[in-house]
């Protein structure tokens, strides 16, 4: 059990003894470490309800509080804050527990949940671009953290593999296909077919009707068109897989929109029959007269021409997921502009009797240096593959400059970890709802809150161990003994790991983990400067080596939960 949890339990007992609701027993890191390591405002909250002086209530609580084995006598500050300064021996015991725990002190969940995380969702026959970064990286990190905490996580890549664009692609495949180009760069060729047909349609209304007929044939199950569609999907997924492999991202499911096609018409019929949906001006809608924000914004599930919409597919998908996995929660990791869409879908889902916790994990946009949506000079979307390779190339230039004597293969592997890590971390360190400006200079910097800075902190610790081994210094396990103020500061940071991970999932904010790891790295550097490690004599040296070792493990584990690897040298 973590120190804050232990303090909370002791505080709860003291509150009960005073006839105060023990739900107020919340202990948090101190806002000002001059007064202690942890604090609680329980006395202030209780005093308000009891209409008493908060400092007097705090004094009464302290009379009942039994924490002499954990901390110095607690003090009351300000309007009634109770502050706790941990004993060195209690910190030593706690950090040794974390060090010997395979979960690094992360407490297991009492009630793990089944969570479906829907993220990435590229469109078939189009390249993945910079707009897919945030959904892909954010969704993956949330899946990693939720799994690490013990939840049963199902990752689903709901790819866009059905739609009007396939009429154009199929016509182009039949009449304009360059087979050699398709074999070499399939996505580029599919995009070319789409664009050429689109341009031809603008000058030939008759062609537009022919293209539309190709789409209708596909929807009706025409054998030739279905085969072309299947090939386009397979070629696209092969390219997607290459990028996911580079990013070290996997999915449990990749059921595209097409998977739910046969369920759409029966779903609409059932919703009409059950009075959940109704016909309005020829279209079928679900109205929400009891929800003010949606009162004039119904969920349209069938157009007047009989066509279905994204909302229809999302409801069919929701129904399928309910029946197959019976999840406790479903998280949709998509951009903030889709907020209204998901409000409508979730409200419609509740009308259908679905009680699962449905959440739209919204995020902002990636901007160029001009603070507009990031585009190429020609105004096209920046392709994700090109961006990732540029990240690795830029990182390689830095690695070669710093370590020209390393074998080429090792330089390239280090560059891969640094480059991809930099892109991921630059995205995840932001509050997910904010827009941010994409900057190579900032993300690849070895200074400040960046992935290279954190990776370098890990490498620095590993170099200490290599030097110790070269000098014949024993690396055998030894207990950590906290004595110096810099050791205390580092130990306190290490002990926050589990709480931070749980806090990340409270509002799906991996930036909290990024900030925490940055603070750990800073605490380590302060410790390294203030407390000689290899130059100390045993048992201090062994203790400090062990403290450095658990710091390295924590940095490595934390970065891994963000989908970022660490090199052993840089």
- Residue tagged 């290599």 (tokens): 466
Nearest Cα to Cα of residue 394 among 440, 425, 447: 440
Tokens for 309, please give them: 């919409």
Mean pLDDT of 257-282: 96
Nearest Cα to Cα of residue 84 among 35, 44, 46, 23: 35
Give this prediction's pTM: 0.93
CATH number at residue 145: 3.40.50.620
Q: What is the pLDDT of residue 34?
A: 83
Tens of pLDDT, residue by residue over 511-521, are 999 999 999 99
Residue 368 is assigned to a structural domain of this protein: no
Burial 105-114 (b: 16+ CB within 10 A, else e): bbbeeeeebe
Tens of pLDDT, residue by residue over 498-512, are 999 999 999 999 999
What is the C-alpha separation between 159 and 180, in angstroms, rounded? Answer: 26
Residue 74 is assigned to a structural domain of this protein: yes
Domain co-membership, 308 together with 327: yes
CA dihedral 194, 199, 202, 205 (to 10 degrees): -60
What is the C-alpha separation between 285 and 279, in angstroms, rounded? Answer: 6
Look at 44 and 3; give whichever has higher pLDDT.
44
Flag whether pLDDT at 427 surpasses 90. yes
Domain co-membership, 217 together with 137: no
What is the C-alpha separation between 555 and 342, in angstroms, rounded? Answer: 36
Domain co-membership, 261 together with 243: no
Q: What is the pLDDT of residue 377?
A: 64
Most confident residue range from 298-307, 352-361, 379-388: 352-361
Tell me which DSSP letter residue 371 carries.
Answer: S
Flag whether pLDDT at 188 surpasses 90. yes
Give the count of domains, the chain: 3
Q: What is the pLDDT of residue 239?
A: 93
Domain co-membership, 7 together with 76: yes
Strand partners, 86: 71
User: Pairing mode, if any, of strands 38-40 and 278-280?
Assistant: unpaired
Tens of pLDDT, residue by residue over 107-162, are 888 899 999 999 999 999 999 998 899 999 999 999 999 999 999 999 999 999 99
Domain co-membership, 178 together with 43: no
Tens of pLDDT, residue by residue over 307-319, are 899 999 999 999 9
Residue 466 is assigned to a structural domain of this protein: no
Residue 493 is assigned to a structural domain of this protein: no
Contact of 21 with 15, CB cutoff 8 Å: yes
Mean pLDDT of 33-59: 91
Domain co-membership, 311 together with 180: no
Examine the fold and report which residue of 214, 247, 280 is the final residue of a domain before the chain moves on: 247
Q: What is the pLDDT of residue 5?
A: 85
Residue 343 is assigned to a structural domain of this protein: yes
Contact of 459 with 406, CB cutoff 8 Å: no
Flag whether pLDDT at 1 surpasses 70. no
Mean pLDDT of 90-113: 92
Domain co-membership, 139 together with 192: no
Domain co-membership, 211 together with 240: yes
Flag whether pLDDT at 545 surpasses 90. yes
Mean pLDDT of 286-291: 96
Examine the fold and report which residue of 225, 247, 269 is the final residue of a domain before the chain moves on: 247
Q: What is the pLDDT of residue 378?
A: 64
Examine the fold and report which residue of 196, 217, 247 is the final residue of a domain before the chain moves on: 247
Flag whether pLDDT at 91 surpasses 80. yes
Q: What is the pLDDT of residue 376?
A: 65
Mean pLDDT of 184-196: 94
Q: What is the pLDDT of residue 307?
A: 87
Cis peptide bond upstream of 143, omega within 30: no
Residue 441 is assigned to a structural domain of this protein: no
Output the average pLDDT for the chain: 94
Domain co-membership, 205 together with 129: no
Flag whether pLDDT at 546 surpasses 70. yes
Strand partners, 358: 330
Residue 429 is assigned to a structural domain of this protein: no
Tens of pLDDT, residue by residue over 366-405, are 998 888 888 766 667 889 999 999 999 999 999 999 899 9
Question: Which structural domain range is residue 59 located in?
Answer: 3-86
CATH number at residue 70: 3.30.1360.70
Q: What is the pLDDT of residue 83?
A: 95
Domain co-membership, 330 together with 275: yes
Tens of pLDDT, residue by residue over 329-353, are 999 999 999 999 999 999 999 999 9
């Amino acid at each position: 059990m973590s120190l804050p949890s232990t303090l909370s339990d002791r505080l709860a007992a003291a509150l009960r003894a005073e006839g105060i609701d023990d739900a107020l027993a919340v202990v948090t890191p101190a806002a000002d470490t001059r007064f202690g390591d942890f604090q609680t405002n329980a006395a202030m909250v209780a005093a308000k309800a009891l209409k008493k002086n908060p400092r007097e209530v705090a004094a009464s609580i302290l009379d009942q509080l039994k924490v002499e084995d954990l901390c110095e006598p607690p003090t009351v500050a300000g309007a009634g804050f109770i502050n706790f300064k941990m004993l060195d021996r209690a910190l030593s015991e706690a950090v040794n527990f974390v060090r010997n725990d395979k979960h690094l002190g992360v407490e297991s969940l009492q009630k793990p949940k089944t969570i479906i995380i829907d993220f990435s969702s590229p469109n078939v026959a189009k390249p993945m671009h910079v707009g897919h970064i945030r959904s892909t990286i954010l969704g993956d990190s949330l899946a990693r953290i939720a799994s690490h905490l013990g939840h049963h996580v199902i990752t689903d890549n709901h790819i866009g593999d059905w739609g009007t664009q396939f009429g154009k692609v199929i016509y182009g495949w039949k009449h304009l296909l360059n087979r050699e180009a398709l074999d070499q760069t399939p996505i580029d060729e599919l995009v070319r077919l789409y664009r050429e047909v689109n341009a031809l349609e603008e000058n030939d209304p008759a062609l537009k009707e022919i293209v539309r007929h190709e789409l209708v044939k596909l929807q009706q199950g025409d054998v030739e068109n279905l085969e072309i569609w299947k090939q386009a999907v397979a070629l696209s997924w092969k390219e997607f897989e290459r990028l996911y492999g580079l990013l070290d991202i996997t999915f449990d499911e990749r059921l595209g929109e097409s998977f739910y096609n046969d369920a759409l018409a029966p779903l609409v019929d059932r919703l009409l029959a059950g009075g959940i949906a109704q016909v309005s001006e020829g279209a079928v809608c679900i109205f929400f007269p009891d929800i003010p924000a949606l009162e004039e914004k119904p969920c349209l599930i069938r157009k007047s021409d009989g066509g279905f919409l994204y909302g229809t597919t999302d409801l069919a998908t929701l129904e399928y997921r309910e029946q197959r996995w019976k999840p406790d929660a479903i998280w949709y990791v998509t951009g903030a502009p889709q907020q209204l869409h998901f409000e409508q879908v979730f409200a419609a889902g509740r009308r259908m009797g679905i009680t699962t916790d449905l959440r739209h994990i919204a995020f902002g946009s990636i901007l160029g240096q001009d603070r507009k949506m990031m585009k190429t000079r020609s105004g096209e979307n920046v392709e994700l593959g090109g961006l990732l390779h540029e990240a690795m190339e830029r990182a390689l230039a830095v690695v070669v400059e710093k370590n020209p004597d390393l074998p080429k293969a090792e330089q390239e592997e280090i560059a891969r970890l640094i480059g991809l890590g930099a892109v991921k971390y630059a995205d995840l360190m932001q509050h997910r709802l904010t827009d941010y400006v994409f900057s190579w200079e900032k993300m690849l910097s070895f200074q400040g809150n960046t992935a290279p800075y954190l990776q370098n902190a890990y490498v620095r610790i590993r170099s200490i161990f290599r030097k110790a081994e070269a000098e014949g210094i024993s690396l055998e396990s030894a207990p950590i003994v906290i004595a110096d103020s810099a050791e205390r500061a580092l130990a306190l940071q290490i002990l926050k790991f589990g709480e931070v991970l749980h806090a990340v999932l409270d509002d799906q904010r991996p930036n909290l983990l990024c900030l925490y790891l940055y603070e750990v790295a800073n605490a380590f550097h302060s410790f390294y400067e203030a407390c000689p490690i290899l130059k100390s004599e045993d048992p201090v040296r062994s203790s400090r080596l062990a403290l450095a070792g658990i710091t390295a493990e924590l940095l490595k584990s934390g970065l891994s939960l963000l989908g970022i690897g660490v090199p052993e040298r840089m």
